Structure 1
């Protein structure tokens, strides 16, 4: 596999939420002495108080991004005469405080498991403002959602439709459901996170089966209509993650609106809601362009208005589910450098001739247990030495973790000062999404804390795990 491009520029200071070309939060600034501070708190203070590794979350940045998505989509869809709801996709990062921030900024909360549902409820999110996803929900999860009065259950298969209906009947309630469909439009940064192609576990295809009959998606919608224990709210689509081209959303919207019209023709039921999912891309490296909420909201709103007009159907209410786009750039992971060693290898140059390459391996006190995405997806991140200034020439470096795995890579390629040494503080940008939520205890490492910073102060949202926590689960 070819080596990823090596960013050579620093992105600090950043220009604000969603600013082009920076993976850092709006509160990240270099002081005159070279140290990084976030929301007015120096990283040395964070390390001294909370230790490393630590997830650091810029609260004001999170809130600003949440507001930006809500206001952009509300304004764009108001122009075409449609309403819209913005759900924060909690799988990116969900803590009690984060769920409260999202709700306070006017977002609803999308959950993907009974555990995430419990976190949202603990945060005081009203059940009606919560959605529950999942391709294999347990009976206990469905019942918990029904008991909490969730606003929507997104069903994912014909079997689940019957099961949810039966469970709703057992509770004497009507379950509000949306049917998740696969549109054939898929987008994103890696096949594992492109979720609208046919050969994967999510949703029901809008394409007819081998016999050319009714599509699985249409059959599922009709099955919901046929069960009085279910209320068909609408149709749900999600086409992937880390999407940087809005045309995918536009194409998927066309397919879903056509499916909505087909259902109305066959059953007389015109569903009231359409969810276009999430997957809005962010900047991970200096120079990356994020998918800005304003332009994408306008483009999608114009498409859905035009398609609805062509089909002769009134516009439904829409919803979207940004997660990474809200929390990703708001977070960074702070590490302490340990072992540093140069490794010289033979590598072909551009002409194919053998060339000698020296790469500095910079080991930190975390790794794939606190950010699995580089190992799992080959995801690229940007890192900088943030505890001091350095005038040393930058050298090709690879940031690695402390796990017993050669694939334990935190940042594949980055230029770091040649004088990087043990004890230096190193920060990796844009780790707010999927760092903590996908973290593990591999090699019995304890998971880092989630620390919020705002207005010159820090507070712990989720405490650091301890070895006692690990041993408390081990029954011997």
Structure 2
């Protein structure tokens, strides 16, 4: 039995109605039409279902652009020289969701792009993002990925191990290049939601430990290599973070190491990266997430104070939001199939609503016990609400899309169901489990629809099978 199936769901509450706010669960353009159907980006979801089928990820282009633009403006203002700081760069974390169009959009809105694999790097480059505006992460980068980064002039390669220092230096030397690198520091700060998405405690695969001295050793080795340019230090403490206090602790730790290196070697690193992981609302029960302005102000404050206490010049700062830009910008549209009532051990009843997708298009509920909500998207209903669980079509009892939500008692086969806040990690982590083709990504704006990523077909799946 999966953890997601065993865990107690939240009380079954209805999805909040769209209200156009940027801190809610829906894309800002979502509303209900006169007959009760959801409209997103000026497009009726029923028309989307007829023309493109379900399941489908529906991405509000204007919403995504607006969120990217808000981060660019907030950090430019908070870290401006007149504010006593040295500027900031915002990297869109492509792992949340990356396509050629999305990479192009965020870059047009003033963001750079953070990649974690050769595939993500290739997409960013195809989108026309300059190499200097791309970063490459990864705890186990292949030689091919590092070479691609070097040859396309990426702005920084984030070194994740002592062994990687040697590899990057060797590959750069072979090409007569000097590679710009940052050191990913494990600060010991544990922040965020599920244990699997907290990334700065000691017992995990990412980064070099500050407390054990591994991070300092990597710094010293890089400074001794003429083929490497030490750009700065990097910290990422987790994901789905609502409380910004953890960033202050991590920033102070990173800035302390920077000051120590400067005192010992005379080299003051020009940059630090404080990562991303800012949370979003998935259900009406979630707390209000921090705005870009609140994030920027908090980080600017700690950098200014810590550098004053340490007696060092302030660095240029970069951050890496992903989920908080693309997550609320999209919803997943499903069609309801089987509906059945189940008697519970406590004498209650639960209505199981099966949809035409599931864990192949959103693995997060099974993997992280992540909570989502849902609403009937093709109509409104005056029927009494019932405690429902939205499940998929896969051969797993843990194939749960929404563990607990109040849906109208007359929910029936053929209804369209919308699950908000699926822009991050839905398509990125999608699979072909049970040989189900992955859904398309449809961009909507001003009443028009554009296919960003087409739906996979059975022919696509069979083409991979060599018989």
- Give me the TM-score of the superposition, normalised by structure 2: 0.97
Partner of 1:260: 258
User: Where does structure 1 lack aligned partners over 5 or more consecutive residues?
Assistant: 209-214, 347-354
Are residues 1:229 and 2:227 paired? yes
Partner of 2:372: 381
Q: Which of 9, 16, 37 is the matching residue for 1:11?
A: 16
RMSD across aligned C-alpha pairs, in angstroms?
A: 0.9
Deviation at 1:5, TM superposition (A): 1.8
CA distance in 1, matches of 2:12, 2:386: 11
Deviation at 1:287, TM superposition (A): 4.3
Partner of 1:403: 394
Partner of 1:337: 336
Q: Secondary structure at the match of 1:197?
A: coil
Partner of 2:47: 45
Maintained 8 Å contact 1:15/1:26: yes
Q: Deviations over 1:69-126 (max 9, x none)?
A: 1111221122232200000000000000000000000000000000000000010100
Partner of 2:299: 300
CA distance in 2, matches of 1:56, 1:148: 32
Maintained 8 Å contact 1:14/1:25: no
Are residues 1:361 and 2:352 paired? yes
Q: Which of 372, 381, 384 is the matching residue for 1:390?
A: 381
1:13-162 alignment to 2 at 5 Å? 13-18=18-23, 22-78=24-80, 79-162=83-166
Deviation at 1:216, TM superposition (A): 0.5
Q: Which of 436, 448, 464 is the matching residue for 1:457?
A: 448
Partner of 1:311: 310
Q: Secondary structure at the match of 1:427?
A: strand
Maintained 8 Å contact 2:162/2:218: yes
1:123-202 alignment to 2 at 5 Å? 123-202=127-206
Q: Which of 425, 430, 444 is the matching residue for 2:421?
A: 430
Q: Deviations over 1:417-462 (max 9, x none)?
A: 1000000000100000000000000000000000000001111000
Q: Secondary structure at the match of 1:328?
A: helix
Q: Secondary structure at the match of 2:79?
A: helix
Q: Flag the 1:80–1:7 CA change in 2: closer, same or farther, 3 A.
A: farther
CA distance in 2, matches of 1:250, 1:437: 30
Q: Secondary structure at the match of 1:75?
A: helix
Residues paired across the two proteins, number: 459
Q: Deviations over 1:305-341 (max 9, x none)?
A: 0110010000000000000000000010000000000
Deviation at 1:6, TM superposition (A): 2.6
Maintained 8 Å contact 2:20/2:29: no
Are residues 1:271 and 2:269 paired? yes
- Give me the TM-score of the superposition, normalised by structure 1: 0.95
CA distance in 1, matches of 2:110, 2:295: 20
User: Where does structure 2 lack aligned partners over 5 or more consecutive residues?
Assistant: 1-5
Maintained 8 Å contact 1:12/1:28: no
Q: Secondary structure at the match of 1:269?
A: coil
Q: Deviations over 1:340-389 (max 9, x none)?
A: 0001111xxxxxxxx31200000000000000000000000010001011
CA distance in 1, matches of 2:140, 2:351: 44
